[in-house]
Amino acid sequence: MATVFIPAQLRELSGGLQSVELEARNVRDAVEQLDVMFPGLKERICTDGNISPSLQVSIDSVITSRGMIAKIQPHSEVHFIPAIGGG
């Protein structure tokens, strides 16, 4: 099972739950499952069916550029965090 962390700002949807364990092939799969568990969550992190441009997905501490199609491994840890640039 992969562990998906619920961003603190979305824990109002998860009843305070900080993370959930689920089996997901990729980010899209995980987001769809989360949205079933916590209705409205997808709308908060997605724009036009993709991860919102202000966010990025971290899988096992790697910032994926593949968004919804990024693969999730059975024991992966998944976070939705703000997008960052650099100087």
Give the residues lining the site for another protein (CB under 8 A): 5, 7-11, 18, 43-45, 47, 52-55, 58, 61-65, 77, 79, 81-87
Residue 79 beta carbon to another protein: minimum distance, rounded to whole angstroms: 4
Q: Given the complex with another protein, which of 23 and 40 has the nearer CB atom?
A: 40
> CB burial class (10 A; 0-12, 13-18, 19+) of residue 15?
exposed
Q: Given the complex with another protein, which of 20 and 45 has the nearer CB atom?
A: 45
Q: Given the complex with another protein, which of 7 and 74 has the nearer CB atom?
A: 7
* Residues 6+ away with beta carbon under 8 Å from 61: 77
**Token pair of 41 as six digits:** 């969550």
Residue 6 beta carbon to another protein: minimum distance, rounded to whole angstroms: 10
